[in-house]
Structure formats: structure tokens, C-alpha cells
Structure 1
Amino acid sequence: MFDTTTVDNIKSKDKERSNKILDLDFTCFDFIPSAILVQKDNEIVYVNESLLKIMECDYEWIMGKSVYKLFEEENNILSTKMKHLFNIEDGEYRIKNSRGNEIEIELKCNDEKFGDSNFIFLNIRDISERKQLQAELQESRELYKNLIDILPIGISIHDGKTFSFVSDSYIKILGYDSPNELVGQKLAMVADKVFQKVVDERLNSLLANNIMLSPIEYKFVTKQGDLIDVEVISVRFSYNQKVNIISTVRDITEKKKAEENKKLLERTLEYDRLKTEFFSNISHELRTPLNILLSSLQLIELYVVDDSNPKIMDIRKYIKVMKQNCYRLLRLINNLLDITKIDSGYYGLDLHNHNIVKIVEDMTQSVASYMEEKNIQIIFDTDVEEKMIGCDKDKIEKVVLSLLSNAVKFTKPGGTIDVSVHDLRDRVKISVKDTGIGIPKDKLGLIFERFIQVDKSLSRISEGAGIGLSLANDLIKMHGGTISVTSEYGIFTQFDILIPLKKVENENVMSNSDQYLDRWIDKKDKAEMVNIEFSDIYI
């Protein structure tokens, strides 16, 4: 910094010299808060203290120079204008002071002629601080605008009739490309005509009363002419002594769709519940008279034992047909009851530790005589003699028997069915492979769907409702396992079951007498199960 004492001395001497050179008195400028500079012809003859502060210099540094020399810094806009235009225009400029620091100034210029001399009077004001504040204000405005534009809701400002501002998110919601497409336009341009009266009434109410309107749902029209669901909230505010309204708009089209889907789902679930109750009730109602019919047929069989009587033979043939069809009905009813229980969540597993190899082998042997009658060879194979696993024995038997029944339906006489059990350490694999007609590739993905039949021809050799495989899939899933199918049309079909190796802890072991009774009941039940499961296959 310069020595103020020296500056004062120089200032005093320079003033005296200037006043001697000029017959003009500039001392009145000393009291002006603005920076003043006076140039006579091409020489600066007066500056006040305010200018010295702006330029951070002393009288000795500035006096005697020309204005052009004072501002001839490189890339200086002011000096360029002076050099090329030979005059100085009023305005704002960026200059460098004596220390090389850039400052923003506001400059006003006036030129006068006194005698033979040309005078230039410059009024300079340091606006660096103001420019900094303006820059910060502009930065804040841009920041707020960016914040508004990135909000997921659209924001608009209007007077109840005409848009004066819309955010980028607002135009995106309505499918426009630029805010200029809406600014200055009527609100009726975006509101659906059905809601126009409601919109006008609410906005007029808001303009008359300083309140916040509660959220309301409208339909807006996009630039493309599509209707979208929106939620609008509006509030009144004053700006530039005028009443304006700021409205937020949120696109709720997806929300409305979700609500509609939810209602549709609820109706579907209610329909499924009613359907489940109907199947359950009708199945119970059908099962009661069917059990009576089966009991009556068994009783009749006790009295028709004379094989020598042709009429008795006919009666026994018809009894067999009646019993087979009763079994078919019983199989269908049982399957319907099972799937309704599964759907309603009331179907549980009775888990115990069983030798899965024996379960599959016994089930295979129980159909051996039937296979022999159909001239189909059935082969059982295993790589482990015993594998204990926690499972529901009845359900596993039902699944295996269902797969065997499915294999028989589509295997011609002379064909082969292979049943195998393999130990995979943490899992057990059960496979049923037949040399039947196979499954077309386009049907493989549907094979476990309910009520789906691969063979829908009138000439098929078996009947069925398309429930068995779907039920088998559900039962294996309940065990935490999977069931899959591979097939080559016209050559083979193979079903593979994978069940995780889990055991039931702290299970009581049955006594020998209980095991004997269980085997006796089991043998009797298996015969009944085979008769029911194979009842829809023509012999």
C-alpha cells in the first residue's frame, strides 16, 4: 500500500500545478463520493481520492497519463473501444487497477471543449461487489430453477387463466418439448373439458380467499392428445403486487392403474375363493352318494358267485364297468378336493422318516400285474438300497402312481417303463421314463398346468381332467423339491423328481406289531389306490 502522507503531499502539489495550468477549479469534485477523472487533451489533469482508492494508486502514478494509457491493459474491453471507436461509451466494464487486480466499474463519460482544449470527464463507480452479488443471485436462481426442474412433480405459476411459468418436469408430464409452448397459453389448453368447470370454480375460490386448496384429481390432456390422471394442489401468493397461483401437478396414471389392478386382484381372489368353496362343496356332495354306490356294488359282488350262470357273468361284467366308472369319479373328486385344499392353504404334510427307495419300489410292484395285463414291461432300478428321508408317504405314493398312470396312458403294448431312484447326497432323484408317444415341444411348458391335456383327440385310449400332473407338481413343491419333464416326440418321455434330503428329528420308532398292521393296511390301500388311479384307462 502507498503512504497516505506522501499521497497528500503529492496531491497538494499536483493540485496547485493543475490549477496553475488550468483556469478551471476542480476542487469541488473532492466532495463527490463517485470517482472522478478529468483529462485535458491527452493528459489526465485531475482525479479525486475516490478514484485513487478504486485504482489503488497515488497521484504520481496516474497524473499526466492519458485515459487510453490508463486502460490499455491486454484484452481490456474499455481500451479496445477507445482505440477503435475513438470515443468512450457509457456502460459497465472490467478493468485492471494499478496492482493488476480486475475490477468491475460503471463508467459515464462527458466531453467538453474549453477554449482550445478538449476535456473528458469520467465518472467511475466500483460495482465489483454489486456484480458479485448479482452473480450469486443468478447462481441462486439457476440453482432453484434446477431444483424445481428435477422435482418429480410439475410446478406452474398462473393467474387462474394464463400460464406465466412452467417447470421442465411440468412440460415432461404433459409431453411438451419446451416451457415456451405453455407460457402465455390458457390453462384450458391442458385441462380436460369434463373438468373445466370444476377447475374454474376452485381457482376463482382461491383467488377470492387466501387458502390452500386440498389435493384433487383431474384428467389433463397431453400435447399428443392423450388423457392422463394427475393430482393437483394449488395455493395463492402475491408477487409484484399481483395475486398469482402456484400449482403442483403429479402424474398418478400408474397409481390409478395400480389401484384398478388391486381392485381387479381383490375381485379375482374373491372369485377364486368362491370357486374353491364351490369345488369343495360339490366334491363332498358327490363323494357321499358315490361311496354308497361303491358299497352297494361290493355287496352285490358277494351274491354273484355262480360263474356257470350266463346271466350272473353278465351281471359281474356290468358290475366291473360300474365300479371302474365309480373309481373314475372318485379319482376326479379326490383330486378336486386336494387342489381346493392346496389353494385355500389347508393342505398339510404328515412328515415322517421313510425309506424313499422302498416307497417307490413298492408302488412300482403294486402296478406290475396291471402292466403285465397291458403287455408293458416295467423295470425298477436303484443305486442305493436304503435312503431315509423326511416325507409324507401317502403324498409321495400318490405322485409316483400318478406318473406311472400317465406313462401307461401313452405307452403302447410292447413298450417299457423304467423307474429309478438315485442318491445325490443332499437330494434324492426319482425318475419315471416311458417309451410312449412323447410330448410335443410346444406343450412341454404347459404340462404341469391345471386342466391341460396333451392328447385331445377323440381316439385317445384314456380319459382325464388334466389335474394329476399339476397336483403332483404341487405336492413335490410342498416337500421343497422340483419335478421336471424331458421328451422327444414319438420316442420317450421322462419325469424327474428331486427331493432335498431332510429328516424329521426326534421321531418315535414303531413297534413290530404296529409295523405289521401298517404293512397290511398299506397293501390293501395300495390295491385300492391303483384301481382308482388306473380307472380312466381303457383295457
Structure 2
Amino acid sequence: MKSLWLKISLAFFVLILALTLVLWFLLASIMQNAYTETTRDHLIENAEMVSQIIIATEAIDDGERLQEWIRNFDGPIEMRFTVIDEDGTVVADSENDPDTMDNHRNRPEFEAVLSAENEYGETIRYSETQDLNMMYIATPVVSDGETVGAIRTSLSLQIIDEAMRKLWLSLALILGIMLLLTTGAGILIARSITKPIDSVMDVTRRLTEKDYSSRVNTRVSGEIGELSSAVNTLAASLQRQMKEIQENEQQLTSIMSNMVSGVMLINQDGRVELVNSAMEKFFSQHSENVVGQTFDKVGEGIGLGELIRQVFEENKKVHDEVHSYYPEERIMDAHLAPYYGQGWQQKGVIIVLHDITDIRRLEKMRSDFVANVSHELKTPVTSVRGFSETLLSGEVKDEETVRQFLTIIHDESQRLDRLIRDLLNLSKIERQEIPLNVEKVNLTELVHETAVTLQGSAEQKQTNLVLPKEDRAVILEADRDRIRQIILNLIANGINYTHEGGTIEVSLRENIYEIRLIVTDDGIGIPEESLGRIFERFYRVDKARSRHSGGTGLGLAIVKHLIESHKGRIEIESAEDEGTTITVILPKTQNQGN
């Protein structure tokens, strides 16, 4: 705004200067005219006075007496007097000898007097006798109604010029002071106008720099005040709108960041414009390495390129499944749709990916579960059906064979019963339909009680069962029956999968927060590739031996869910032909989590 107040000040100065010059020349012209008019009137008055004296004294015909009398005017009056007769001859002059002077018959002022049309004659010209510019005024000398001569008065214009020079200097000084004062006032006025405008411009500049808290603080009235108020209103509106935009952006960013679905935006040039954190995980790349890349380069690894191209070409939604194999295999449900700008012009493609790997895995597990259940049920049902049909046919007459068939039917029915009960229990545990009856449990005592029920199986296989010492009580808060079920399954598995003469050791360890139940055997062990699936339903490492032992394949799955319902966890270490160690970690109290 510096240029604005300078322009206003300069324009004001030029205007005042022009007005001052006009006023100067106007006043000078008026004063000069007034001074000249005064001088003319003074010359006329003196000429008329002298003319009347000459008429009164009848001295027009006595040249010597008139010359002497006219000479007396030379001293007291700074004016020249010349008496001219009707022929133009100089009779007397107050400054020069009339005998040396030329005839004045052709002088303009004298001719004007002789003319009946003019009361006096006037002219300004250079006087050779005086060597100056002179003003001449001639008035007639009238005797008995006739013009008998003329009285000419003259005055040097040097006096007028000197007076005018002083007048011009005075006017220049006065008008110069006026010019300075008005220029200073103009600068102050310009500054008073531009200062609030400077504030407005500063605020608008800060608004362009996104400082929406800036306001115009000047207190002025009129149009500038209204402008300041309008700018403040605009700034407040922008601040409010930007706050809303920032809040919306924050909400959108939070939503995008916390979405488990991947979102990617492709612009109309086919380049990635936006990806969220979930999409970064799908691509295993940071957004800086993805944004700005072409969709062919980004989507080629998961098969998105062709789908994006299809949306661009057909301008319609596309739904399909895509697969990603790095860093791990993923199955994703892809939804692609065009997005539009103003006038419904296609601006690009938006892609949303839902990770359905777990859903597909669950579907496969459900399918496998149904197949496994069907398979597990088929064997005992087939056995029961086959042997019962044989008995019903009446072809078997031997009582020992009949008893053997009935024993098989009884065993298979019991196995079928155990399978159904385990399935029902597992289903209830998973749905948390079995509430925990939490009480204080002496885990050492419970281990010994549970081991009694398995002592017969251990002795039958000549297995050495090592239990923790009974003199050391280990107390925890838990459901006694559920913990018993966990201990029973783990020790039974150890007995089933340990060679004859082997050893199974049960030990207890505790710290301030948790208790560890450790079951170790030196049996056949578990292959490394099976460790990750050992807790799946119906998964068996040695299927033939598991069925022979009467197992349902659901024991460890039930154990895992019971442990998790107690806010615990289970760990397993095993090596093939070396043995297995299973560690159950449970919190001492149920109001503390792990």
C-alpha cells in the first residue's frame, strides 16, 4: 500500500500545485491590472490638475513661465509632465529642455486627445530620452471650448515592475507556505485513508497464507469501515469453514486409517492418488511408494490392473475376487466403481478391497468340519450297522462270535456317544454357553485326583506317571471341573502317544501373577509341520493310532477353548521321536488378564 498513499499524495500535490499556480497567476494578473489602473488614474488626475492650473493661469502662451512652473514638479512628484500645444510642439517638460525635444504631433496619446472620441490618450512605449519603458497619459487643455493643447503625464514602468516583482515574491512565499501546508495535510489524509487499507491488505495477505485468525483492528467509519467489517466477516466465515473442513478431513482420515478394508483412488490419468493404511498392508508398501504410480504397476501383483481398465472403458461398477501372494497369501473381495466430478464427468476409479481370507478359511474349515464329522460318524455307524445286520440275519450261530460282534457294536456306540458329547461340549464352549463356576482350586491336589482315574491306563501300558509333590499347594481361581477336563485330556494324550515303558511328568510352576501346568512325555512327538494345526478339530498326526485309542480328535481343541475361557494360553514344544512338552499358563485370579 506504500505506492497507493504515495500516488494519492502525489496526485494531491500536483492538484494543489496546479491550483496554486493558477491562483498565483490570477492574483498577480489582478494585482498588476489593479496597480496599472491605479497608476493610470493617478496620471489622469495629475494631468487634469495641471491642465486646470494652466487654463486658470493662462500660462499656455507663456512658454518660459510655464517651463519654469512645470520644472517645479520634477522634485516632489516622481512623474514626468509635458505640455504640448495644438501643433504638437513641446511647450514645457518637467525633466528635459523642450527646445531639444521632437514634435509630438504623431504620438499616439496626443492623437487620441485631438480626437473627439476620447477623453484622454494612453500608450506604453520605450522612451529614448528616459531610456525606459514609460506609460503615457495625455489629457486635453480646453480653452473657451476649444482644445488648445495637451498635458501629458508619464511614469516609468520600472516602478510598476518593481512593485509587481515584490508582489510576485510575496505571493510566491504565501502560496508556497500554503502549498507545503496543503501537501502535508494531503499526506496525512492519504495516510489516514491508506492505513486502514494497509490493515485490510495485510489481513487478506495473511488469509491467503491460511492464517484465518487474522482480523482488521482499525476503527474507522464510512466505506473503509464497512470494508474492514466485510473482511472480518469473510475471515470469520473462512475460519469457520476451514475448521469444519479440517474436522471433516480429520474424521475422514481417522475413518480411512482405521478401516480394515483397503481404499485406493485412481485419478483420470491412471495414477494412484490416495491409499489408506489397510491398502498399504495389502501392497506391503508405504503410501509414498504407491501414490503417483500408474495403476498397471501397482495392481499387477494382485490382479487389479485389468479390473481398473474395465471400469475406465465401460464406466460401470465391477465386483470380483483378487489374490495376493506377498508377503502372505490373501483373498480379497474387490469392489471397483467410477467416481465423478462436476457434470457427471468421470474423474477416476475408487477401489475398495475387503480381506476375506479368514472368511474363506472359515468356510473351508466348516466344510472340512462337516466332512470330518461325517467321516468320523461313518466309521462307527458302518460298524454298528454291519455287525447288527449280520446278527439279525441269523447266520452267526457261535455264541463267542455273537459276543464279539456285540462287543464291537457296544464299543462303537460308546465311541459314537463320546464323539457326539465332545462335539456338543465344544460347541457350547465356543459359544460361551457354559459359564465358569470360579472357586479357589488346589491345582496340586486336582492333578493327583485326576491321575487316579488314568492310573489303570498308565499301568496297562507300563507308563511311568510322575506327579508334583502333594505337600506343595498351588492355589488359583478357576472352574474346578474345566481344569480337571484340561488335565485329563493332556495326561490321557501323553499316555496314548507314549511308548510302553515311557514316562509322563506333570509339574507345576508359579510366580506372583500366573501358574504354569507343564505336561512332558518322551513319546512319539509331533512333526514340525503339524504343530500349527494340532489344536484344530479332528486333526490327527497318526490317524490310525488315534482311532485305535478311541480318540475323537477333539480333545486338544476343547482344551484350547477351556484355557482361553480362563484368560490363559497354551504353548507346545515337540520334536518327532523325542517327545512333547505342553505348557498351560493360567492367571492366578480371574479379574486379571494376561
TM-score by length of 1: 0.44
Q: State which structure, 1 or 2, has the greater radius of gyration over its C-alpha atoms.
A: 2
TM-score by length of 2: 0.40
